[in-house]
Amino acid sequence: MGNHVYKDIIEQKKLLRHKLREKRNKFVSALPPSILNIAFTNVPRPLLQICQDKMDRKSPIAAFYAPMGSEADPLKLAQFLSQQDIQIALPRIFNKEAGLMNFHLLNPNDLFSNLEIGPFGAAEPHKDAPICSPDIIFTPLIGFNRLGARLGQGGGFYDRAFAALPQCVKIGIGWSIQEESKIPIDIHDISLDYILTEREYIEI
């Protein structure tokens, strides 16, 4: 990839991030609380099957994220799955400049408390919580398309985590209005396997 082409992709991503963040904020702030409360509460049967398929060896680990702003909230799914013999983890940034994070195991009771605020404002587990390698990663996103391309916050945190965990199942969670047919991708971008929105479950 020529250097100018690469720079062009970075610029396109920036513009699209800006547009889709605004769109997401508007969409979520216009949602009635009754709808907001039930969004992302039902685990689609195929998703439960994926978790169960991972259960043959040990209790599988699923990583979630503590939502910020208008991001889709995956923590009700986390609570539900923690009752199905699935272990729960959250990311913790350990090198902000290098775009690196670890996943730490959490007691499900600590999902909403006993966390600390990380460098980008998201709640994170404490440093002494055990580091783990998740089998399934629920991933925040700013944009997605039906080919599984993902636009994130621009730190490359999830792409590096995916590269380090080639066996993990990658599930994007976002609002339906974050779908964008053309998502610019560069050589480091790793596609999602599934996408969950408030309306549908997409298998790539």
Ligand X SMILES: Nc1ncnc2c1ncn2[C@@H]1O[C@H](COP(=O)(O)OP(=O)(O)OP(=O)(O)O)[C@@H](O)[C@H]1O
Ligand Y SMILES: Nc1nc2c(c(=O)[nH]1)N(C=O)[C@@H](CNc1ccc(C(=O)N[C@@H](CCC(=O)O)C(=O)O)cc1)CN2
Instruction: Mark the binding-site residues for substrate, compressed into ranges.
Output: 71
CA distance 147 to 134: 23
Residue 86 or 103 with smaller CB distance to ligand X: 103
Residue 122 contact among ligand X, ligand Y, none, beta carbon within 5 to 8 Å by kind: ligand Y
Q: Does 159 bind ligand Y (CB under 6 A)?
A: no
Q: How far is the CB of 188 from ligand X (least distance, A)?
A: 3
Q: Are the beta carbons of 168 and 134 closer than 8 angstroms?
A: yes
Q: Does 138 bind ligand X (CB under 6 A)?
A: no
Q: Are the beta carbons of 87 and 59 closer than 8 angstroms?
A: yes
Residue 101 contact among ligand X, ligand Y, none, beta carbon within 5 to 8 Å by kind: ligand Y
CA distance 58 to 16: 40
The residue from 35, 117, 147, 163 that contacts ligand X (CB under 6 A) is: 163
Residue 163 contact among ligand Y, ligand X, none, beta carbon within 5 to 8 Å by kind: ligand X
Binding residues for ATP: 13-17, 150-158
CA distance 79 to 108: 7
Q: What is the CA radius of gyration of the chain?
A: 16
Q: Are the beta carbons of 159 and 151 closer than 8 angstroms?
A: no
Residues that bind ligand Y (CB under 6 A): 21, 65-68, 71, 91, 93, 101, 120, 122, 140, 152-155, 157-158
